[in-house]
């Protein structure tokens, strides 16, 4: 296995231009494919997860131009009708792409269609049963070809009926609701009948649903939301996706978390460009959590700047992370540099991500000397008097773990650290370690 050794770096400062958001990139690719007309996407992320989506769309007959070096791509929309009726789609370990494609194909499949979806071994362990149950409830033809509740799947043409509200659980992954929301207009546009989705239980990761709804509006479909429990997708022409012409992908707010944390830990200032006070992504609220630790944060329209406290160490926090579960992983490492015990709650979704992130983070934080307690949906981190040097951090083929633990090398308390399998960052940020190096 390859590894990367990071030397201690007492000071981090500089400017970072973020790559495009993975969440927005994959949503934009799918919405552009389903729309009428050609859409030019700019700032699109080039990573393993977005290549999975681009490859899948190509196999479905959607024409996409080659992605340029600066992230531009033209997508010729199919107006909700795929020309390919038979396809094997490999989805890697891309959760957003998988859930959205399953819902889309289940509701778009014509009678003779036969689609097969599979991914890496970890994807076969990531649950999709709640989404499949909701789709089957309205007549979708989906079969498991491995373990029930998990990929791989086969999808054929079903008899879709949307007269009754569609129940879907919201407490496991917001990606299930996102997939259903983006796919339903194909049915409601065709039938002229609106569809109602009812969320069962508490909806997690609400900011990601806000991204979905805002992007659907940009492509011409406005969903009516009643609180976070009921969503109405319009019918007829109001449900037809139409190209906006050009769509600019924001910088990745989740990736911003590592560089903002670097500024908070190791002096700063670190200026992160590509997201700002008016960002679409809820993960910009990570900066507010850093401010809770005592970091100095400034927002601009298209940038965020982070610095360490003016005097003294960061201070531990106790916070509900339901709204930013992915970015919250970074806070678990920031806790190594704070006085007191940091407790992060409402993070049960970590258990079903690229790996069991609660267990993985606890294991690797302990290698650095931290005292860590964990529960079904929480983690508590107490830093040691001094971090353990030369820890070899296992990354579990999880990009966010690799990026999080690079921070252990920073600041006055930073130590030499080894990152195993550093190329797992290719999933969302292939040049992460090169960019990280520019801050030292």
- In this structure, the answer to whether residues 192 and 147 fall within a common structural domain is yes
Please give the pLDDT value at position 21.
Answer: 95
Each residue's pLDDT tens digit, 4-28:
999 999 999 999 999 999 999 999 9
Pick the last residue of a domain from 200, 229, 248: 248
Residues 280 and 333 in one domain: yes
State the Rg of the chain over Cα: 22
pLDDT at 336: 98
Report the C-alpha gap between 301 and 285 in whole angstroms: 14
Contact 275, 284 (CB under 8 A): yes
Residue ending a domain, choose from 209, 231, 248: 248
**Residue finishing a domain among 248, 271, 293:** 248
Cα separations in angstroms, 378 against 9, 27, 104: 30, 29, 33
320 with 373, same domain? yes
Could you tell me the CATH number of the domain that includes residue 328?
Answer: 3.65.10.10
Identify whether residues 386 and 418 lie together within a single domain.
yes
Confidence of residue 1 (pLDDT cuts 50, 70, 90): confident
Mean pLDDT, range 209-224, rounded to an integer = 98
- DSSP 8-class letter at 340: S
Q: Are residues 272 and 338 in the same domain?
A: yes
Q: At what angle do helices 174-183 and 129-137 cross, to 10 degrees?
A: 30
Average pLDDT of the segment spanning 108-136: 95
Nearest-5° angle of CA 259, CA 260, CA 261? 90
CB half-sphere exposure, 270, CA atoms < 13 A? 32
Which tens digit of pLDDT belongs to each residue from 282-321? 999 999 999 999 999 999 999 999 999 998 899 999 999 9
What total of structural domains would you count in the chain? 2
Catalytic residue numbers, as ranges: 326
Summarised one tens digit per residue, pLDDT across range 66-82 is: 999 999 999 999 999 99
* Mean pLDDT, rounded, for 154-162: 96
pLDDT higher than threshold 80 for residue 440 = no
Residues 257 and 332 both lie in one domain: yes
Is 256 found in the same domain as 194?
Answer: no
Q: What is the mean pLDDT of residues 203-232?
A: 96
Both 204 and 152 in one domain: the answer is yes
Residue 352's pLDDT is 86
CB neighbourhood size of 342 (10 A):
27
Residues 82 and 227 in one domain: yes
pLDDT score for 239: 98
Domain identity same for 196 and 77: yes
Token reading at 188? 């409601």
| Same domain? 345 vs 259 | yes
CA dihedral 288, 290, 296, 298 (to 10 degrees): -40
Whether residue 157 contacts residue 149, with contact meaning beta carbons closer than 8 Å, is answered with no
Give pLDDT tens digits for 236-263: 999 999 999 999 999 999 999 999 999 9
Mean pLDDT value across residues 187-196: 97
Q: Is 217 left (phi over 0), alpha (psi -120 to 50) or beta?
A: alpha
Q: Which residue has the tokens 């991914």?
A: 119
**Residues 6 or more apart from 109 whose CB is under 8 A from it?**
115, 140, 141, 155, 156, 157, 158
pLDDT tier at 172, thresholds 50, 70, 90? confident
- 261 and 281 fall within a common domain: yes
pLDDT class for 326, splitting at 50, 70, 90?
confident
To the nearest whole percent, how much of the chain has pLDDT over 90? 95
What average pLDDT is seen over the chain? 96
Q: Could you tell me the residue range of the domain that residue 44 belongs to?
A: 22-248
**What integer pLDDT is reported at residue 211 of this predicted model?**
96
């Amino acid at each position: 296995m390859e590894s990367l050794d990071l030397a201690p770096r007492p000071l981090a400062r500089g400017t970072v231009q973020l790559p495009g958001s993975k969440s927005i990139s994959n949503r934009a690719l799918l919405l552009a494919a389903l729309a009428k007309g050609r859409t030019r996407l700019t700032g699109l992320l080039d990573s393993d997860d977005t290549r999975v989506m681009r490859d899948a769309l190509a196999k479905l007959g959607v024409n996409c131009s080659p992605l340029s070096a600066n992230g531009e791509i033209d997508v010729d929309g199919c107006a909700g009708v795929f020309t390919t009726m038979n396809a094997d789609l490999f989805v890697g370990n891309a959760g957003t792409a998988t859930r959205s494609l399953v819902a889309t194909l289940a509701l778009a499949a014509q009678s003779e269609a036969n689609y097969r979806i599979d991914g890496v071994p970890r994807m076969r362990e990531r649950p999709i049963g709640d989404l499949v149950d909701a789709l089957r409830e309205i007549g979708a033809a989906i079969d498991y070809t491995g373990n029930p509740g998990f990929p791989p799947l086969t999808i054929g043409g079903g008899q879709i009926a949307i007269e009754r509200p569609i129940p879907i659980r919201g407490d496991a992954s917001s990606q299930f609701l996102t997939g259903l929301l983006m796919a339903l207009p194909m049915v409601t546009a065709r039938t002229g009948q609106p569809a109602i989705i009812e969320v069962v239980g508490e909806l997690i990761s609400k900011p990601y649903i806000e991204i979905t709804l805002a992007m659907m509006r940009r492509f011409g479909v406005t969903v009516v939301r009643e609180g976070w429990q009921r969503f109405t997708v319009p019918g007829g022409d109001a449900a037809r996706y139409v190209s906006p012409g050009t769509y600019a992908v924001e910088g990745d707010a989740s990736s911003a978390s590592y560089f903002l944390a670097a500024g908070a830990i190791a002096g700063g200032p670190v200026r992160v460009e590509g997201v700002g006070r008016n960002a679409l992504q809820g993960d910009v609220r990570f900066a507010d959590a850093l401010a809770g630790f005592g970091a100095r944060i400034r927002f601009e329209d298209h940038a965020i700047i982070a610095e360490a406290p003016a005097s003294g160490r960061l201070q531990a926090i106790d916070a509900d992370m339901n709204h930013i579960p992915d970015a919250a992983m970074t806070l678990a490492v920031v806790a190594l540099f704070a006085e007191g015990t940091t407790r992060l709650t409402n993070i049960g979704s970590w258990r079903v991500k690229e790996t069991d992130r609660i267990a993985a983070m606890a294991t690797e934080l302990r290698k650095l000397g931290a005292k860590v307690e964990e529960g079904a949906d929480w983690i508590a981190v107490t830093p040691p008097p001094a971090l353990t040097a030369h820890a070899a951090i296992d990354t579990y083929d999880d990009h966010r773990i690799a990026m999080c633990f690079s921070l252990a090398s920073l600041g006055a308390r930073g130590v030499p650290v080894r990152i195993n399998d550093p190329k797992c960052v290719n999933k969302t940020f292939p040049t992460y370690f090169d960019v990280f190096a520019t801050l030292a």
